[in-house]
Amino acid sequence: MQPAGMASLFRPRHNTLARISLLVLAVGGGGGVGGLLFYVRSPLARGMQDPIEQPIQFDHRHHTRDEGIDCRFCHNTVDSSPHAGIPATQLCLNCHSQIWNQSPLLEPVRRSFFEGKPLTWKKVNDVPDFVYFNHSIHVAKGVGCVTCHGRVDKMAAVEKMQPMTMSWCLSCHRNPEPNLRPVEEVTNMDWKPEGDPIEAGRVLAQRNDIHTRTSCSTCHR
């Protein structure tokens, strides 16, 4: 039996308010977790399309499109090593000891050479230390630079164009054909397949001996 006076403390509408409060808490909590999961995968959280300030103003547009310099001239270990390689100061001065050798913009390069201290470039595209990524195998299989790095030849300052998440990598590992090209065209950012892209991808997958790799040990060793 309900004690006397309890009816005056808890009216029927209080039950409704309690249910609404629980619903709000559940929706708010779930929405908060969902919002957080969405945020960490968003371009904003991953620093995508934010120009990265470097020690010198290096314009890829000028060097690749105007001068026609191949990516591998500066990133000269990309097809033979897990790392693409960063150009040494001497490589820059192979040209700039003769061209624009008095430019104030190149003072950090000259200082780096005379002091014997390498330029400190900032990584734009990076993966966690627990992820193994080998540039050379991707280049050897015909995955173009543009697939991961975007149209670097149109960037005044290089930006991160892809999320580099596990799901993004796996989507290519499960279905690599759309990202394949002839090996000799890996640095050609204007390359497009002739005819049906799907059929072209299938042909390239056979020609380049492509096998899907989705086991954990492929990237986590």
Better pLDDT: 221 or 171: 171
pLDDT-based confidence at 37, cuts 50/70/90?
Answer: low
The whole domain housing 19 covers 13-40
Nearest to 187 by CA among 74, 59, 48: 74
pLDDT surpassing 60 at residue 5: no
25 lies in the same domain as 126: no
d(CA 153, CA 70): 10
Confidence at residue 24, expressed as pLDDT on a 0 to 100 scale: 77
- 18 and 74 share one domain: no
183 and 138 share one domain:
yes
Instruction: Residue 133: name the closest of 180, 161, 169 by CA.
Output: 169
Q: Indicate the average pLDDT of the chain.
A: 87
pLDDT for 9 = 59
Please name the residue that has the structure tokens 């470039």.
121
Residue 132 falls inside a structural domain: yes
Question: Does residue 64 sit in the same domain as residue 36?
Answer: no
Most trustworthy range by pLDDT among 4-8, 37-41, 152-156:
152-156
Model pLDDT for residues 73-116, shown as the tens digit of each residue: 999 999 999 999 999 999 999 999 999 999 999 999 999 999 99
Look at residue 47 and tell me if it is in a domain.
no
Does any domain span residue 81? yes
Q: Residues 133, 190: one domain?
A: yes
70 and 34 in one domain?
no
The verdict on residue 3 lying in a domain is no
Pairwise pLDDT comparison (12 vs 184), residue with the higher score: 184
> 96 lies in a domain?
no
Residue 14 pLDDT: 60
Tokens at 106, concatenated: 């190149």
175 and 72 in a common domain? yes
